[in-house]
Amino acid sequence: MREGWREEPAARGGCQCGAVRYEVPAGPKLASVCHCRMCQRATGNAFAPLLEVPSAGIVWQGEPAVWASSSVAERGFCAICGTPLFFRDKDGDTTEFMAGALSGFDFRPVLNSGVEGRVAWLASLPHQRDRETRPELLARVVSHQAPED
């Protein structure tokens, strides 16, 4: 097994609207966080938490849309709701799923990559105040997201 990879339970996840779902069998997986600028732009976030798995065992329900984000990689997403779902090397044998689209998987990263793009303010987060979502806002929210497994 490659460095950082661990035997992990099965995982599943999908997009917000439920049109694209996936399942990954139990086996070796690598949990990492990518800080590169391309991942920042692809996720609209400061970093991309990714769960890398062998591509061969993935079972899809619905078809993800795929876009070639560079000459060597492509990114999958839901064409209906836009949820970013995965990153993969065009010539590789693994797929890296966005951790936020996983359902109930205990994501524990063991590697930071693309650290040359790490945003400086990330280090200050443990020292910031925490605030829960306001109850009056939660009372008004009606989710249109598909239920998680």
Residue 69: name the closest of 97, 50, 41, 107 by CA: 41
Overall number of domains in the chain:
1
- Looking at the domain assignment, is residue 148 inside a domain? no
Share of the chain above pLDDT 90, in %: 72
- Looking at the domain assignment, is residue 31 inside a domain? yes
Share of the chain above pLDDT 70, in %: 99
- Looking at the domain assignment, is residue 1 inside a domain? no
- Looking at the domain assignment, is residue 146 inside a domain? no
**Sole residue written with tokens 């976030």:** 45
- Looking at the domain assignment, is residue 103 inside a domain? yes
22's enclosing H/E stretch is strand 21-24
Is the pTM higher than 0.75? yes
- Looking at the domain assignment, is residue 149 inside a domain? no
The chain-wide mean pLDDT, for the chain, equals: 93
Mean pLDDT over 85-105 rounds to 94
> How does strand 65-67 pair with strand 73-77?
antiparallel
**Residue 14 sits in which domain range?**
6-125+133-140
- Looking at the domain assignment, is residue 23 inside a domain? yes
Q: Residue 76: which residues within 8 A CB-CB, separation 6 or more?
A: 64, 65, 66, 84, 85, 86, 87, 88, 95
Q: Identify the pLDDT of residue 112.
A: 96
Say if residue 94's pLDDT is above 90: yes
Mean pLDDT over 116-132 rounds to 92
Using pLDDT thresholds of 50, 70 and 90, give the confidence band for residue 7: confident
Residue 72 belongs to domain with CATH number = 3.90.1590.10
pLDDT in tens, 21-31: 999 998 889 99
- Looking at the domain assignment, is residue 114 inside a domain? yes
